[in-house]
Structure 1
């Protein structure tokens, strides 16, 4: 392949990648909305993915992460840590709780499911001010094993994906 052909190939692939990226974002959004609707209507959170001829190529599921602890009022949290674990407070120009200890406490609170911390040295359970459990957004997880990817590639090569209406590129769209 000469340099002119390489440049043309690169330009075409770049334009196609831009269109595919946009289409992929739109498709993922539509898929997530569909999975959320299916969950609320029927409880369905996972579906199989198949090509037109029924060959299974993977699965997609709606994942709802557990709520995680987050510091919502740093001043209250700092005051509490100063009281129960002053060695975990670092004073510089700015006074803050050691990030490693904050992370440890937030992980323990997330695991417990309540803004409380059990002191391992004396067993005292503390209500932790300035920390709340916050919900996290659901997301989709798609699993397409190598065999599924191979099946997709073969279906692409043999023209069996037309029913999916993958790309309709309009003039000016890939700019």
Structure 2
């Protein structure tokens, strides 16, 4: 293959890559919206994905964010840490970020937020509820990638249908 052929190939592959990436992002968003709706309606969190012949190729699973402890009142939290963990408060009167992350990792996500050792309610902290899932995992089943490749090569998967460049019908 000469340079001109390789250059043409690079341009075509780039156009196809960009088109596939745009379609992938749009479909991924639509699937996420569909999974969220299925969870709300049917309590579905995960689904098996198959080729048209019902051969499984992957599993999609909603990724549930966890509730997190957040500082609702910086001054109240800093004052509490200054009294209870004075070595963790910096001269500029703030809680050391590394200690805060480590400490928050030990806290239960229940309102009111309490010290795990003493049970004392910690002023300035609150629990922020988990957000809606923002993503899902896609795990091919064993042999799934090979099945997709085989279906593509045999024409069972029509790339013209999957990827209509420019949004036109094929």
Question: 1:64 Cα shift?
Answer: 1.9
Paired residue secondary structure (2:162): coil
In structure 2, how many angstroms separate the alpha carbons of the residues matched to 1:169 and 1:103? 46
Q: Structure 2, unaligned stretches of length 5 or more?
A: none
Paired residue secondary structure (1:58): strand
Question: 1:141 Cα shift?
Answer: 1.4
Question: 1:72 Cα shift?
Answer: 3.2
TM-score, normalised to structure 1's length?
Answer: 0.84
Residue 130 in 1 paired to residue 158 in 2? no
Is the contact made by 1:63 and 1:141 (CA closer than 8 Å) also made in structure 2? yes
1:28 alignment partner in structure 2 = 28
Taking structure 1 as reference, are residues 79 and 57 closer, same or farther at Cα in structure 2, changes over 3 Å only?
A: same
Question: 1:131 Cα shift?
Answer: 2.2
What RMSD in Å do the two structures reach over aligned CA positions?
2.1
Residue 97 in 1 paired to residue 92 in 2? no
Paired residue secondary structure (2:166): coil
Q: Give the length in aligned residue pairs.
A: 164
Displaced runs of 4+ in structure 1, greater than 3 A?
Answer: 111-114
TM-score, normalised to structure 2's length?
Answer: 0.86
Q: Structure 1, unaligned stretches of length 5 or more?
A: none
In structure 1, how many angstroms separate the alpha carbons of the residues matched to 2:160 and 2:34? 17
From the two aligned structures, give the one with the greater strand fraction: 1
Larger RCO: Structure 1 or Structure 2 (Cα < 8 Å, ≥ 6 residues apart)? 1
